[in-house]
Amino acid sequence: MGRLNGKIAVVTGAADGIGHAIAEAMAREGAHVFASDIADAKGEAFAAGLRSQGLAADYVHCDVAVEADIRNLIETAVKKGGRLDVLVNNAAISIGGMPVYEMTDEQWHRLIAVNLTSVFRGCKFALPHMIGQKSGSIINLASAQGHIGLDGWTAYAGAKGAIHSMTRQMAVEFGPHNVRVNSISPGTIATPMNDQVIAELGEHIARAWVKMHPLGRIGRPSEIAEAAVYLASDAAGFTTGTDLRVDGGLTAAPRFVPDLV
Protein backbone atom coordinates (compact mmCIF):
# COMPACT_ATOMS: atom_id res chain seq x y z
CA MET A 1 0.00 0.00 0.00
CA GLY A 2 1.60 3.26 -1.14
CA ARG A 3 1.60 6.34 1.03
CA LEU A 4 -0.13 8.35 -1.74
CA ASN A 5 -2.55 5.77 -3.10
CA GLY A 6 -5.34 7.36 -5.13
CA LYS A 7 -3.99 10.90 -4.90
CA ILE A 8 -3.76 13.19 -7.92
CA ALA A 9 -0.45 15.08 -7.91
CA VAL A 10 0.92 17.83 -10.14
CA VAL A 11 4.66 18.52 -10.25
CA THR A 12 6.25 21.39 -12.20
CA GLY A 13 9.78 21.16 -13.58
CA ALA A 14 9.59 17.38 -13.43
CA ALA A 15 11.74 16.40 -16.41
CA ASP A 16 14.97 16.61 -14.43
CA GLY A 17 16.57 17.17 -11.05
CA ILE A 18 14.52 17.41 -7.86
CA GLY A 19 11.15 17.61 -9.65
CA HIS A 20 11.93 14.39 -11.51
CA ALA A 21 12.77 12.63 -8.24
CA ILE A 22 9.61 13.97 -6.56
CA ALA A 23 7.34 12.93 -9.45
CA GLU A 24 8.88 9.46 -9.57
CA ALA A 25 8.65 8.95 -5.80
CA MET A 26 5.03 10.10 -5.76
CA ALA A 27 4.12 7.74 -8.60
CA ARG A 28 5.85 4.86 -6.78
CA GLU A 29 3.79 5.70 -3.68
CA GLY A 30 0.57 5.26 -5.66
CA ALA A 31 -0.24 8.78 -6.83
CA HIS A 32 -1.36 9.56 -10.37
CA VAL A 33 1.30 12.09 -11.27
CA PHE A 34 0.93 14.89 -13.81
CA ALA A 35 4.56 15.72 -14.54
CA SER A 36 5.17 18.97 -16.38
CA ASP A 37 8.13 20.84 -17.83
CA ILE A 38 9.36 22.77 -20.85
CA ALA A 39 11.73 19.94 -21.81
CA ASP A 40 8.97 18.05 -23.59
CA ALA A 41 10.94 15.13 -25.05
CA LYS A 42 12.52 14.35 -21.68
CA GLY A 43 9.22 14.78 -19.85
CA GLU A 44 7.27 12.58 -22.27
CA ALA A 45 9.93 9.86 -22.02
CA PHE A 46 9.90 10.10 -18.23
CA ALA A 47 6.11 9.68 -17.99
CA ALA A 48 6.14 6.87 -20.55
CA GLY A 49 8.85 5.12 -18.52
CA LEU A 50 6.75 5.31 -15.38
CA ARG A 51 3.67 4.00 -17.23
CA SER A 52 5.70 1.08 -18.59
CA GLN A 53 6.33 0.10 -14.95
CA GLY A 54 2.60 0.07 -14.27
CA LEU A 55 2.59 3.48 -12.54
CA ALA A 56 0.11 6.27 -13.23
CA ALA A 57 1.77 9.22 -14.95
CA ASP A 58 1.00 11.81 -17.61
CA TYR A 59 3.19 14.50 -19.07
CA VAL A 60 1.80 17.99 -19.71
CA HIS A 61 3.83 20.80 -21.28
CA CYS A 62 3.95 23.75 -18.88
CA ASP A 63 6.22 26.76 -18.96
CA VAL A 64 5.67 28.11 -15.47
CA ALA A 65 6.39 31.62 -16.70
CA VAL A 66 3.23 31.43 -18.83
CA GLU A 67 -0.07 31.86 -17.00
CA ALA A 68 -2.12 29.95 -19.60
CA ASP A 69 0.24 26.95 -19.32
CA ILE A 70 -0.21 26.71 -15.55
CA ARG A 71 -3.96 27.02 -15.86
CA ASN A 72 -3.97 24.27 -18.50
CA LEU A 73 -1.78 22.02 -16.35
CA ILE A 74 -4.08 22.24 -13.34
CA GLU A 75 -7.24 21.91 -15.44
CA THR A 76 -5.85 18.87 -17.29
CA ALA A 77 -5.04 17.12 -14.02
CA VAL A 78 -8.47 17.89 -12.57
CA LYS A 79 -10.25 16.82 -15.75
CA LYS A 80 -8.35 13.54 -16.09
CA GLY A 81 -7.94 12.77 -12.40
CA GLY A 82 -11.28 14.07 -11.17
CA ARG A 83 -9.66 16.04 -8.34
CA LEU A 84 -6.38 17.62 -7.23
CA ASP A 85 -4.70 16.47 -4.04
CA VAL A 86 -1.11 17.64 -4.37
CA LEU A 87 0.60 20.54 -6.13
CA VAL A 88 4.39 20.72 -6.09
CA ASN A 89 5.63 24.13 -7.26
CA ASN A 90 9.14 23.01 -8.08
CA ALA A 91 10.34 24.55 -11.36
CA ALA A 92 12.92 27.30 -11.02
CA ILE A 93 16.03 28.66 -12.66
CA SER A 94 19.29 29.92 -11.22
CA ILE A 95 20.44 33.33 -12.32
CA GLY A 96 23.06 34.66 -9.95
CA GLY A 97 26.69 34.39 -8.95
CA MET A 98 27.02 38.13 -9.53
CA PRO A 99 26.67 41.18 -7.30
CA VAL A 100 23.16 42.58 -7.42
CA TYR A 101 24.38 45.77 -9.13
CA GLU A 102 25.49 43.69 -12.13
CA MET A 103 22.12 42.02 -12.57
CA THR A 104 20.05 43.44 -15.41
CA ASP A 105 16.36 44.24 -15.10
CA GLU A 106 15.71 41.56 -17.70
CA GLN A 107 17.49 38.91 -15.57
CA TRP A 108 15.59 40.05 -12.48
CA HIS A 109 12.19 39.88 -14.19
CA ARG A 110 12.94 36.49 -15.74
CA LEU A 111 13.99 35.04 -12.39
CA ILE A 112 10.96 36.42 -10.59
CA ALA A 113 8.61 35.16 -13.32
CA VAL A 114 9.95 31.60 -13.28
CA ASN A 115 10.77 31.26 -9.57
CA LEU A 116 8.08 33.30 -7.83
CA THR A 117 5.15 34.37 -10.02
CA SER A 118 4.88 30.69 -10.97
CA VAL A 119 4.17 29.80 -7.32
CA PHE A 120 1.47 32.47 -7.11
CA ARG A 121 -0.15 31.16 -10.29
CA GLY A 122 0.10 27.49 -9.36
CA CYS A 123 -1.61 28.21 -6.03
CA LYS A 124 -4.14 30.53 -7.64
CA PHE A 125 -5.37 27.85 -10.03
CA ALA A 126 -5.10 24.91 -7.61
CA LEU A 127 -6.69 26.42 -4.51
CA PRO A 128 -10.31 26.66 -5.72
CA HIS A 129 -10.29 22.90 -6.45
CA MET A 130 -8.67 22.02 -3.11
CA ILE A 131 -11.00 24.31 -1.18
CA GLY A 132 -13.99 22.81 -3.01
CA GLN A 133 -13.02 19.25 -2.08
CA LYS A 134 -11.96 20.34 1.44
CA SER A 135 -8.47 18.85 1.21
CA GLY A 136 -5.17 19.40 -0.49
CA SER A 137 -1.45 19.73 0.00
CA ILE A 138 0.66 22.40 -1.67
CA ILE A 139 4.42 22.00 -1.50
CA ASN A 140 6.60 24.90 -2.58
CA LEU A 141 10.27 24.39 -3.31
CA ALA A 142 12.11 27.17 -1.51
CA SER A 143 15.79 27.02 -0.59
CA ALA A 144 18.31 27.25 2.23
CA GLN A 145 19.13 30.54 0.54
CA GLY A 146 15.82 31.92 1.76
CA HIS A 147 17.30 31.54 5.25
CA ILE A 148 20.96 32.49 4.92
CA GLY A 149 23.07 34.78 2.78
CA LEU A 150 25.50 33.69 0.11
CA ASP A 151 27.49 36.04 -2.10
CA GLY A 152 25.91 36.74 -5.45
CA TRP A 153 22.37 35.39 -5.09
CA THR A 154 20.25 38.34 -3.95
CA ALA A 155 17.43 37.91 -6.47
CA TYR A 156 17.26 34.11 -6.14
CA ALA A 157 17.29 34.36 -2.33
CA GLY A 158 14.67 37.11 -2.46
CA ALA A 159 12.31 34.90 -4.42
CA LYS A 160 12.89 31.98 -2.05
CA GLY A 161 12.34 34.17 1.02
CA ALA A 162 9.08 35.35 -0.51
CA ILE A 163 8.06 31.72 -1.01
CA HIS A 164 8.63 31.11 2.72
CA SER A 165 6.34 33.94 3.73
CA MET A 166 3.69 33.20 1.06
CA THR A 167 3.66 29.60 2.30
CA ARG A 168 2.96 30.71 5.88
CA GLN A 169 0.33 33.17 4.70
CA MET A 170 -1.58 30.61 2.63
CA ALA A 171 -1.33 28.00 5.39
CA VAL A 172 -3.12 30.39 7.73
CA GLU A 173 -5.64 31.54 5.16
CA PHE A 174 -6.61 28.13 3.78
CA GLY A 175 -6.09 25.93 6.86
CA PRO A 176 -9.81 26.26 7.70
CA HIS A 177 -10.52 24.54 4.36
CA ASN A 178 -8.18 21.66 5.25
CA VAL A 179 -5.69 22.78 2.61
CA ARG A 180 -2.11 22.41 3.87
CA VAL A 181 0.68 24.59 2.48
CA ASN A 182 4.32 23.84 3.27
CA SER A 183 7.69 24.51 1.76
CA ILE A 184 10.90 22.54 1.52
CA SER A 185 14.26 24.28 1.74
CA PRO A 186 16.94 22.07 0.26
CA GLY A 187 20.62 22.58 0.88
CA THR A 188 22.86 21.98 -2.11
CA ILE A 189 21.57 19.04 -4.12
CA ALA A 190 23.28 17.24 -7.01
CA THR A 191 21.13 18.34 -9.96
CA PRO A 192 21.62 19.85 -13.44
CA MET A 193 20.95 23.28 -11.87
CA ASN A 194 24.12 23.00 -9.85
CA ASP A 195 26.07 21.44 -12.73
CA GLN A 196 25.29 24.71 -14.52
CA VAL A 197 26.51 26.80 -11.57
CA ILE A 198 29.77 24.80 -11.45
CA ALA A 199 30.20 25.24 -15.22
CA GLU A 200 29.74 29.00 -14.86
CA LEU A 201 31.68 29.64 -11.64
CA GLY A 202 34.30 26.86 -11.54
CA GLU A 203 35.06 23.58 -9.73
CA HIS A 204 36.13 25.33 -6.52
CA ILE A 205 32.47 26.06 -5.84
CA ALA A 206 31.68 22.33 -5.67
CA ARG A 207 34.44 21.79 -3.07
CA ALA A 208 33.14 24.74 -1.05
CA TRP A 209 29.58 23.32 -1.08
CA VAL A 210 30.78 20.07 0.50
CA LYS A 211 32.55 21.99 3.28
CA MET A 212 29.55 24.21 3.94
CA HIS A 213 27.29 21.28 4.86
CA PRO A 214 27.95 19.85 8.34
CA LEU A 215 27.08 16.37 7.04
CA GLY A 216 30.13 16.69 4.76
CA ARG A 217 28.42 16.14 1.43
CA ILE A 218 25.76 17.60 -0.82
CA GLY A 219 22.32 16.02 -1.02
CA ARG A 220 20.58 13.71 -3.46
CA PRO A 221 17.32 14.56 -5.25
CA SER A 222 15.76 11.44 -3.70
CA GLU A 223 16.32 12.95 -0.24
CA ILE A 224 14.14 15.94 -1.19
CA ALA A 225 11.58 13.62 -2.79
CA GLU A 226 11.25 11.73 0.48
CA ALA A 227 10.35 14.98 2.27
CA ALA A 228 7.84 15.88 -0.45
CA VAL A 229 6.15 12.47 -0.21
CA TYR A 230 5.81 12.96 3.55
CA LEU A 231 4.28 16.45 3.19
CA ALA A 232 1.89 15.18 0.49
CA SER A 233 0.78 12.19 2.54
CA ASP A 234 -1.92 11.88 5.18
CA ALA A 235 0.89 11.25 7.69
CA ALA A 236 1.50 15.02 7.52
CA GLY A 237 -2.19 15.77 8.09
CA PHE A 238 -1.44 18.16 10.99
CA THR A 239 1.56 19.82 9.32
CA THR A 240 1.00 23.16 7.65
CA GLY A 241 2.78 26.48 7.40
CA THR A 242 6.13 24.86 7.98
CA ASP A 243 9.38 25.02 6.07
CA LEU A 244 11.11 21.65 6.09
CA ARG A 245 14.86 22.16 5.86
CA VAL A 246 16.48 19.24 4.09
CA ASP A 247 19.90 20.79 3.98
CA GLY A 248 22.51 18.59 5.62
CA GLY A 249 22.68 21.08 8.49
CA LEU A 250 23.68 23.97 6.22
CA THR A 251 21.40 26.53 7.84
CA ALA A 252 21.90 25.15 11.36
CA ALA A 253 25.59 25.95 11.26
CA PRO A 254 26.49 28.36 8.49
CA ARG A 255 30.19 27.93 8.12
CA PHE A 256 32.86 30.38 7.24
CA VAL A 257 35.01 28.65 4.66
CA PRO A 258 38.23 30.67 4.44
CA ASP A 259 39.68 28.88 1.40
CA LEU A 260 36.51 29.34 -0.62
CA VAL A 261 38.27 31.27 -3.37
Ligand X SMILES: NC(=O)c1ccc[n+]([C@@H]2O[C@H](COP(=O)([O-])OP(=O)(O)OC[C@H]3O[C@@H](n4cnc5c(N)ncnc54)[C@H](O)[C@@H]3O)[C@@H](O)[C@H]2O)c1
Query: What is the smallest separation between the CB atom of 55 and ligand X, expressed in angstroms?
Result: 19
Q: Which stretch binds ligand X (CB under 6 A): 90-98, 147-155, 164-172, 248-256?
A: 90-98
Q: Does 231 bind ligand X (CB under 6 A)?
A: no
Q: Does 244 bind ligand X (CB under 6 A)?
A: no
C-alpha gyration radius of the chain:
18
CA distance 117 to 135: 23
Taking the least distance from each CB to ligand X, the nearer of 118 and 137 is 118
Helices (H) and strands (E) in the chain, counts: 9, 7
Query: Looking only at residues 28 through 47 of this chain, which bind ligand X when binding is defined by CB under 6 A?
Result: 37-39
Go through the chain and tell me how many residues it has: 261
Tell which one of 3, 11, 19, 248 touches ligand X (CB under 6 A).
19
Q: Does 208 bind ligand X (CB under 6 A)?
A: no
Query: Looking only at residues 59 through 78 of this chain, which bind ligand X when binding is defined by CB under 6 A?
Result: 62-65
Q: Which stretch binds ligand X (CB under 6 A): 3-11, 164-172, 181-189, 252-260?
A: 181-189
Query: What is the smallest separation between the CB atom of 159 and ligand X, expressed in angstroms?
Result: 8
Q: Does 149 bind ligand X (CB under 6 A)?
A: no
Residue 125: name the closest of 87, 94, 165 by CA: 87
What is each CA distance from 183 to 116, 219, 236, 256, in whole angstroms?
13, 17, 13, 26
Contacts of 4 (CB under 8 A, 6+ apart): 26, 29, 30, 31, 85, 86, 229, 232, 233
